[in-house]
């Protein structure tokens, strides 16, 4: 029997050295057909089936021959393989037309993958993507419960059914809370995100949403609130306001009261604002310990406080004579992090007086100056704004300006091409204090 490879996506792309798969002779290019006589349809089924202690893995080799590998292993021990398609199945695309959708605000000419809107619970589990739950059949929900797909990251925005239908423009959007109740009953963990849009889901609606989510605690363990992002490419899209100093400050005061309430009731602040609110309002961020382990770090909640602590802690371990020569470098960042990065650069220079660091604030001309986060800065804007500057020997940038698995910017310019154009070494830094300081001092 020969399996039609064109109809399946379980082709093995990587075999880890010294893994079970490596030891028994599974190779890159082989096709995983089934485990214990069950055909593999997607990555969730694979993860569930491969956890058993005894497996019979049916593999088709590149030459078409099929082998059955008998495997005895520890419970939950991995085989040590990856697939050409991370989820094996085709990713489910989003059917919504959210009033705040960032992808709808993208100009032409960017990386093709940026225009695909995913809304797939499997990607939520595997890669941390947020899903709206509007794209789920009854079988999908049952599979989350059956296969223990947890945690699920959910784009909530509001728990008001009518308002959610209005914001997401999907007739199934109002079913959110009943689905979340089912998942909570099945002990599925959920992380929640609220994109806050002035005049839509803020003020009383925000309080209502957080209250509804808190009722599902501890299965909903926190809610992150991020401000809506508006680019200059919004023709034929609904009008939306952005947060200003006053409205951001009002939201901070509102969340402060909510945090006090739940800290007494639950022992957790539960709802957290992203750093952008505090920057827009020119207000002090929460203290390091008040972020409760940075459970919503990927939503930009507490990034600055965490990075500041890590930088200061690492600097305290270094001797003043670590740098033995004069050194001049530069850092490019967005408007939101500029003040903080400048302060951190000053801390480094205060300790090492032979190091000179110039920090440049990049205005986002590509998307519009209302977009202020460094993760949406393009190579085009960096090149245009820094091409005539004396940048020293190296230019440092945040790693989140680049694609997660590739050194390429949003505008399809590679890091290598940027270095060639600017005639300078460009070094990406992780959002990690030690990495940041280490690379600058190296």
How do the domains of the chain map onto residue ranges? Answer: 5-83, 103-301, 309-441
Report pLDDT digits (tens) over 3-36. 444 345 688 889 999 999 999 999 999 999 888 9
| Range from 24-38, 76-90, 277-291 carrying the lowest mean pLDDT | 76-90
**Alpha-helix runs per DSSP H in 169-231:** 176-185, 203-214
The SS3 of residue 392 is coil
Predicted pLDDT at 94 = 60
Burial class of residue 435 (count of CB atoms within 10 Å of its CB; 0-12, 13-18, 19+): middle
CATH superfamily of 103-301: pyruvate-formate lyase- activating enzyme (3.80.30.10)
List the beta bridge partners of residue 152.
Answer: 190
CATH number of 309-441: 3.40.50
CB-CB contact of 272 with 223 (8 Å): yes
| Same topology between domain 5-83 and domain 103-301 | no
- Please name every residue paired with 253 in a beta bridge, in sequence order, or none if there are none: none
| Cα(52)–Cα(68) distance, integer angstroms | 16
User: pLDDT band for position 114 (50/70/90)?
Assistant: low
CATH superfamily of the 5-83 domain:
PDZ domain (2.30.42.10)
What is the pLDDT confidence band of residue 88, given thresholds at 50, 70 and 90?
Answer: low
Q: Do the beta carbons of residue 373 and residue 410 sit within 8 Å?
A: no
């Amino acid at each position: 029997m020969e399996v039609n490879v064109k109809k399946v996506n379980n082709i093995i792309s990587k075999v880890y050295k010294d893994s079970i798969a490596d030891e028994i002779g599974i190779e890159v290019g082989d096709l995983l057909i089934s485990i214990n006589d069950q055909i593999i349809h997607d990555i969730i089924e694979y993860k569930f089936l491969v956890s058993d202690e005894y497996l019979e893995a049916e593999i088709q080799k590149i030459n078409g021959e099929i082998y059955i590998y008998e495997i005895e292993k520890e419970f939950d021990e991995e085989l040590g393989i990856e697939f050409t398609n991370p989820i094996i199945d085709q990713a489910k695309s989003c059917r919504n037309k959210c009033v705040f959708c960032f992808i709808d605000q993208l100009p032409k000419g960017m990386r093709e993958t940026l225009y695909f809107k995913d809304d797939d619970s499997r990607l939520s589990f595997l890669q941390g993507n947020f899903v709206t739950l509007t794209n789920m059949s009854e079988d999908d929900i049952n599979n989350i419960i059956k296969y223990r797909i947890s945690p699920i990251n959910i784009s909530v925005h509001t728990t008001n059914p009518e308002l959610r239908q209005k914001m997401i423009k999907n007739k199934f959007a109002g079913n959110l809370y009943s689905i979340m109740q089912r998942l909570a009953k099945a002990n599925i963990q959920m992380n929640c995100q609220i994109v806050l849009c002035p005049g839509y889901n803020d003020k009383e609606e925000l309080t209502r949403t957080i209250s509804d989510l808190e009722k599902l605690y501890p299965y909903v363990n926190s809610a992150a609130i991020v401000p809506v992002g508006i680019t200059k490419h919004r023709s034929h899209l609904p009008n939306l306001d952005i947060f200003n100093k006053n409205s951001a400050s009002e939201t901070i005061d509102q969340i402060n009261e909510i945090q006090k309430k739940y800290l007494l009731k639950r022992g957790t602040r539960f709802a957290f604002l992203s750093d952008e609110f505090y920057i827009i309002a020119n207000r002090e961020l929460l203290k390091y310990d008040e972020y409760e382990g940075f459970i919503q770090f990927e939503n930009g909640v507490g990034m600055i406080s965490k990075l500041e602590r890590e930088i200061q802690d690492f600097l305290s371990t270094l001797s003043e004579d670590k740098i033995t020569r004069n050194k001049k470098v530069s850092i490019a960042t967005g408007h939101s992090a500029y003040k903080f990065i400048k302060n951190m650069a000053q801390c480094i220079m205060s300790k090492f007086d032979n190091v000179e660091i110039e920090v440049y604030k990049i205005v986002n001309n590509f998307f519009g100056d209302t977009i202020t986060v460094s993760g949406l800065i393009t190579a085009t804007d960096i090149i245009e704004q820094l091409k005539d500057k004396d940048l020293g020997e190296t230019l440092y940038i945040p790693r989140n300006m680049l694609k997660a698995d590739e050194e390429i910017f949003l505008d399809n310019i590679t890091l290598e091409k940027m270095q060639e154009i600017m005639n300078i070494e460009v070094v990406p830094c992780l959002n990690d204090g030690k990495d940041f300081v280490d690379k600058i001092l190296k």
